[in-house]
Structure 1
């Protein structure tokens, strides 16, 4: 039977499933609309698509490290914190992280199109759709990043049971327990203070100029009577203070006993004690729900609406 656009449109309106999923369902069932609806339900698409509009801002970050050389971090979101604590969801997030550490994908589209490691008969996206149908909430694989250390090692740190996941990559000619412990301490620093850059060398001149212009306006508003030369010195000081806060190696090391040692100085000390050339090359920090606008629910209003009050 020839499948028409009108038939696909009708099935889409009935189920909320995607256009291509509807077309496939109709082809599989030879145009039988009821059988096509059942096909979509069995495969999870109808249920998943209806939930796709819901905001998934909870969930977990998961980090996996392989042989101190390769690491991957993923963020998988759910609608509620309750599901994020569910064992089935947690196992799925682990499987997604294992997929990521073995993946060669460069973006999310390529990642979702890969064969699912746990069952090569389906794609990552199809595995996700199935899990949505089982769990009954909108789930999203939001992001992933894979880090491979060419000249050193990688370490990881997970905070808050998966709320934050961190990878730190270092170039080092010595990889021992002391070096890995120091880098893990640095990963904890990244989790706690969320730096934006490794060092000032990574900060673009455009960023500095942009921040300088903001600080200049602030200083002028606060000190309208001060000469321009004095204001210029003030904003240089403020900019340097801000850069110390956002650059990892210049941050005050949180575990330092005197509170004065920088992260950079701490690593220099560890490197000297272990006869190593040690440099932090990169870090990755994922925080669950970061940047997602969460919908604030008024439960009483929602109940009243449903009751027609």
Structure 2
């Protein structure tokens, strides 16, 4: 039978499940609203949908390499306890290999990739129902390199931080050394040419206000600001940073000494940019006692 948009909308409002899941449920139950709601519950979809408003700021990142292709991604859950669970780690590997073997280059494309006849989006809904926490794929990026370049892949703390470098003219070991540096120091840019004028102007305004608040004479503030700005720009650029394994030389000098050129890099850290929920367990316990 034909399933109307009104009926799908009504089931969605009742269960919180996605539009496509609601349509599937109604199709499977010949448009019976109550049976469709039960169908969603039986599949674990309704339960998983209720968890979608929760904050998933824990989890793991991963970086996978296959020849001249590499993917970097972040898979989130709600607690660090689940992130250490073998089921979650197995899901991380399965999601990663599925994305790597596809042509997906961003989050939307990755969620649409099929795994065992289901989209990754549906697989994650099922994982949410099975594991009991919101499981979400947050960031996905694909990188390609030339034959003359090497990927440097590095995972820190089991995947709490991952980094990937692309360096032309060097072997994998050198590229990985630079990836370790990226994971540890977290550079924002490859070199000063990548920094926009807006960022530079914003930093200049902050440094100017800072110098004036220190009581510095106006006639020397401009020179002070320029000096501090140059120092800051060096600190946030990978090529200018003291190499973490040998602070006596910059990253650029280390790479050049190995006859290489840095092409690019990326770094992911679990939960960065997410406003994490702050649990007050003492208050929670007291609220239960006083209930």
TM over 0.5: yes
Is the aligned partner of 1:199 residue 2:226? no
- The residue that corresponds to 1:280 in the other structure is 262
Q: What is the DSSP-based 3-state SS (H/G/I as helix, E as strand, rest coil) of the residue aligned with 2:129?
A: helix
Are the aligned partners of 1:74 and 1:145 in contact in 2 as well (CA < 8 Å)? yes
Is the aligned partner of 1:140 residue 2:136? yes
- The residue that corresponds to 2:251 in the other structure is 263
Runs of at least 4 residues of structure 1 off by over 6 A? none
Question: Which runs of 5 or more residues in structure 2 are unaligned?
Answer: none
Question: What CA RMSD, in Å, does the superposition of the two structures yield over aligned residues?
Answer: 1.9
State how far apart, in whole Å, the 2-side matches of 1:297 and 1:95 are.
31
Question: Which runs of 5 or more residues in structure 1 are unaligned?
Answer: 272-277
Are the aligned partners of 2:106 and 2:141 in contact in 1 as well (CA < 8 Å)? no
- The residue that corresponds to 1:234 in the other structure is 224
- The residue that corresponds to 1:63 in the other structure is 63
Q: TM-score, normalised by structure 1?
A: 0.88
State how far apart, in whole Å, the 2-side matches of 1:144 and 1:307 are.
44
Are the aligned partners of 2:99 and 2:113 in contact in 1 as well (CA < 8 Å)? no
Question: Which structure 2 residues correspond to residues 1-309 of structure 1 after superposition, within 5 A?
Answer: 3=3, 7-67=7-67, 69-116=68-115, 119=116, 121-150=117-146, 151-172=148-169, 175=170, 179-224=171-216, 226-228=217-219, 230-256=220-246, 259-271=247-259, 278-309=260-291
Q: TM-score, normalised by structure 2?
A: 0.93
1:48 CA displacement = 1.1
- The residue that corresponds to 1:274 in the other structure is none
1:4 CA displacement = 5.1
1:305 CA displacement = 3.1
1:255 CA displacement = 1.2
How many aligned residue pairs are there?
290
- The residue that corresponds to 1:275 in the other structure is none
1:25 CA displacement = 0.9
Q: What is the DSSP-based 3-state SS (H/G/I as helix, E as strand, rest coil) of the residue aligned with 2:225?
A: helix
